[in-house]
């Protein structure tokens, strides 16, 4: 058996599954951290899914997954509160001359409070995932339902689209290069600005304008968020980077990082209403990069939030917690 993540307590290498005398195959894993974990079975070296698991689109294909509950934590559970909807919305993108499907969360009162208009969060998945990830693996709809019911977040529309603009995705098991990620991000950014945002603002009762528009993403989606928003501060005022700092940020360079957008901290602070960076403490490399960025931004006087998810890895539990921290800070 192979686990899709690492730093989750389950080890990075494959685990041996042993056939017992009763004909059943079994494996005992080390204790896992809480949250959602991708996994698959290796049969003679070929990766196949567990026939007893639902599948989740990750690693560029449907992949088995298992949920480990976190004791005493229910912020992403379905609860007895008013529920919004996740709507599959088909639209034609001129940028690619293709039909696409976005998932759109509408808040619980959307269909009853018909005079109301709403701010919009664009929320992106990671490499190898698609528009289904945030609602299925991430439970973004339940997180928003619960925050809104508790009065902790403003009712908002959340748009979850596919961050790829072409059918070829990163092959199973391959790690995308920085160049590939930047090309993917540039193409998606063009589509987001030219097609997706205008379609959303024309179709839903949104409040247009940068101060009512946020973007966030996880991992590859975080890099896309930074790449796109920092080049379009006229379009977005709220920015969330979940487990994906600047792709080239080995050392933070105030003058040159992100085309110099940080070189005038006062101007940045005035323009950007929220700049949010976060990572799990168990995803050591990315946590280190995020922390270094945080410290450099602090030194430069760039206002931001730095969030650490204790003990969680480059996995959905980190991103559920990130959304739960990020969403209440939006549009206030």
CB of 132 to its own copies, least distance (A): 10
The single residue among 55, 190, 231, 269 that binds its own copies, judged by CB under 8 A, is: 55
CB of 83 to its own copies, least distance (A): 5
* CA nearest to 158, candidates 113, 228, 102, 222: 102
Structure tokens at 193: 């600005």
Stretch that binds its own copies, among 49-57, 149-157, 210-218, 308-316 (CB under 8 A): 49-57
Contacts 24+ apart (CB under 8 A), 187-190: 187/95, 188/163, 188/164, 188/224, 188/228, 189/224, 189/227, 189/228, 189/231, 189/232, 190/95, 190/165
The strand pairing partners of 46, in sequence order, are 43
CB of 210 to its own copies, least distance (A): 24
The single residue among 18, 54, 285, 295 that binds its own copies, judged by CB under 8 A, is: 54
* Shorter beta-carbon distance to its own copies: residue 94 or 285: 94
**Rounded to the nearest 5°, which phi and psi values hold at 225?**
-60, -50
Site residues (CB under 8 A) for its own copies, limited to 167-206: 172, 203-204
Q: How many residues bind its own copies (CB under 8 A)?
A: 32
| 62 makes contact with its own copies (CB under 8 A) | yes
Exposure string of 297-316, with b = 16+ CB inside 10 Å and e = fewer, is beeeebebebbbbeebbbbb
Site residues (CB under 8 A) for its own copies, limited to 81-110: 83, 85-92, 99, 104
| Sign of the Cα pseudo-torsion (4, 7, 9, 13, in order) | positive
Residue 75 has what DSSP assignment? T
The single residue among 26, 28, 114, 255 that binds its own copies, judged by CB under 8 A, is: 114
In angstroms, the CA 190 to CA 239 distance is 18
CB of 91 to its own copies, least distance (A): 8
| 78 makes contact with its own copies (CB under 8 A) | yes
* Shorter beta-carbon distance to its own copies: residue 71 or 99: 99
CB of 58 to its own copies, least distance (A): 12
Q: Which residues bind its own copies (CB under 8 A)?
A: 43, 46-49, 51-55, 61-62, 78, 80, 83, 85-92, 99, 104, 111, 114, 135, 141, 172, 203-204
């Amino acid at each position: 058996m192979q686990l899709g993540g690492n730093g989750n307590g389950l080890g990075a290498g494959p685990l041996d599954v042993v056939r017992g005398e009763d004909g059943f195959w079994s494996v005992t894993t080390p204790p896992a951290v809480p949250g959602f974990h991708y996994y698959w079975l290796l049969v003679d070296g070929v990766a196949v899914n567990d026939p007893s698991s639902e599948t989740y689109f990750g690693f560029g294909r449907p992949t088995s997954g298992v949920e480990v509950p976190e004791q005493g934590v229910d912020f992403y559970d379905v609860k007895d509160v008013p529920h919004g909807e996740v709507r599959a919305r088909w639209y034609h993108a001129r940028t690619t001359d293709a039909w696409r499907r976005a998932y759109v969360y509408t808040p619980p009162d959307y269909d009853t409070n018909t005079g109301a208009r709403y701010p919009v969060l664009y929320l992106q998945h990671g490499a190898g995932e698609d528009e289904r990830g945030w609602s299925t693996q991430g439970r973004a709809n339940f997180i928003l339902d619960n925050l809104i019911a508790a009065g902790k977040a403003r009712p908002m529309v959340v748009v979850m689209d596919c961050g790829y603009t072409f059918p070829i995705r990163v092959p199973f098991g391959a790690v995308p290069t920085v160049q590939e990620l930047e090309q993917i991000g540039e193409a998606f950014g063009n589509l987001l600005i030219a097609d997706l945002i205008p379609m959303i603002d024309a179709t839903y009762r949104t409040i247009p304008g940068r101060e009512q528009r946020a973007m966030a993403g996880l991992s590859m989606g975080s890099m896309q968020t930074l790449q796109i928003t920092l080049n379009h501060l006229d379009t977005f005022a709220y920015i969330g980077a979940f487990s994906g700092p600047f792709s080239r940020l080995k050392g933070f360079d105030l003058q040159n990082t992100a085309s110099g957008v940080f070189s005038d901290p006062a101007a940045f602070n005035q323009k950007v209403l929220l700049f949010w960076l976060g990572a799990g403490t168990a995803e050591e490399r990315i946590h280190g990069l995020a922390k270094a960025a945080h410290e450099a931004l602090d030194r430069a006087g760039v206002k931001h939030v730095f969030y650490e998810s204790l003990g969680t890895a480059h996995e959905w539990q980190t991103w559920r917690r990130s959304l739960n921290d990020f969403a209440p800070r939006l549009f206030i």
